[in-house]
Amino acid sequence: MESVQQLIVCGGCNAKIGPGNLGELLADLPKAAHEDLLVGFDSTDDAAVIKLREDLAIIQTLDFFPTMVTDPYLFGKIAAANALSDVYAMGGEVLSALNIVAFPEEKDLTILKEILRGGAEKVQEAGAILAGGHSIHDQSVKYGLSVTGTIDPNNIYQNNTCQLGDHLILTKPLGVSIITVGYSAEEISEEAFVKATTSMETLNKYAMAIIRKYPITSCTDVTGFGLAGHLHEMLNEQFSAELDSQNLPYFEEAYQGAKEFILTAGGQRNRNYMEAKMDFQIEDFGIEELLFDPQTSGGLLVSVPAEKVAALVAELQAADIPAQDFGTVVEKQEKEIIVH
């Protein structure tokens, strides 16, 4: 096969509008009121859920972004895995997907073919139907999916329903944006880059197949708002959380990179929004940046009753899913997230 041109690195979930600005944008929009709309954008959840009948609802979501790697095929796989993740975060199964494409008119269409090939493979791995899509010309390459899933309306996982005393589990390591930015600047090794991209292209399908066996109380996937931002949504202004920094799952190379001030624009937006809500009881800039780092196709953040956490983590780890129990939901305190 002929060699394919490379893409310019400029985004991933690091390109998301920051949580503070996004909240302001959505605040005054009219809220959809319909008896069958079980989950809408008013709850800042991962996807919309619409009931079709008593035992069946559909999940609707979409996600797309600019490139964060130079390899078009790899970009397609990561972007698709990221979009599919919202369905898994709700506890659902993926039914179908449609491509979303923005592509420069003058660029080699072989690049687009490789992006679409990567995306199609991930949709196929999810066991879903790729049913078409929509494309436009644009100055920069963007790709993602509109995804439809199915779920029992009585078993929806929401992102803001954790309970007092729950433990917090994350199923993928933090730091992928730090690594991709550092790698593009030749400051982080190719070995670290491969570990990060392998994590990003891994479907959350496999973690959810185990998680749904347990009585979890809340679930979301960690993406552009970073772990701190998505945990803020999970706590829902009802609770605080205490985190053990020694149990956080992260890429060691990302931690070292952060300490050397390899930073991302999205991470700084997340810091600006969340820093006042956090109490860092350790002096560790690397850990701070990992908590703010935007994750592209990140892991599932799960809250689970204390008596079930050990069994769930053990089963996830036995399936080669690098999950860690890293925190606890506690009574509301002056600061929302306390890091030990």
The answer on whether 325 is annotated among ligand-binding residues is no
How do beta strands 129-137 and 218-221 pair? unpaired
Nearest Cα residue to 83 out of 226, 234, 203, 208: 203
266 is in an annotated binding site: no
Whether residue 135 is annotated as binding a ligand: the answer is yes
Q: Is 335 annotated as a binding residue?
A: no
CB 151 within 8 A of CB 93: yes
Check if the beta carbon of residue 128 is closer than 8 Å to that of residue 88: no
CA separation for the pair 246, 249 (Å, rounded): 9
Q: Which residue has the tokens 């979303």?
A: 100
Alpha helices in 126-264 (DSSP H): 176-184, 190-201, 205-211, 226-235, 252-259
The tokens for 45 are 């959840």
Q: Is 16 annotated as a binding residue?
A: yes
CB 150 within 8 A of CB 268: no
Catalytic residues: 13
| Alpha-carbon dihedral sign for residues 283, 295, 195, 126 | positive
Task: Tell me the residue length of the chain.
Answer: 340
Label the pairing between strands 278-280 and 337-339: parallel
> In this structure, how many other beta carbons lie within 10 angstroms of the beta carbon of residue 42?
13
Q: Is 245 annotated as a binding residue?
A: no
Helices vs strands, H then E, count in the chain: 11, 13
Please check whether residue 46 is in contact with residue 221, taking contact to mean a CB–CB distance below 8 angstroms: yes
Q: Is 63 annotated as a binding residue?
A: yes
Residue whose entry in the numeric block shows the structure tokens 């983590």: 313
Cα gap 1→64, rounded to integer Å = 28
CA gyration radius, the chain: 19
For residue 46, say whether it is annotated as part of any ligand binding site.
yes
Contact by Cβ (8 Å): 327, 232: no
Question: Annotation-wise, does 138 bind a ligand?
Answer: no
**143: its two tokens:** 């790709």
Residue ranges at the known binding site for ATP: 16, 43-45, 63, 86, 133-135
Residue ranges at the known binding site for Mg(2+): 46, 86, 221
Residue ranges at the known binding site: 16, 43-46, 63, 86, 133-135, 221
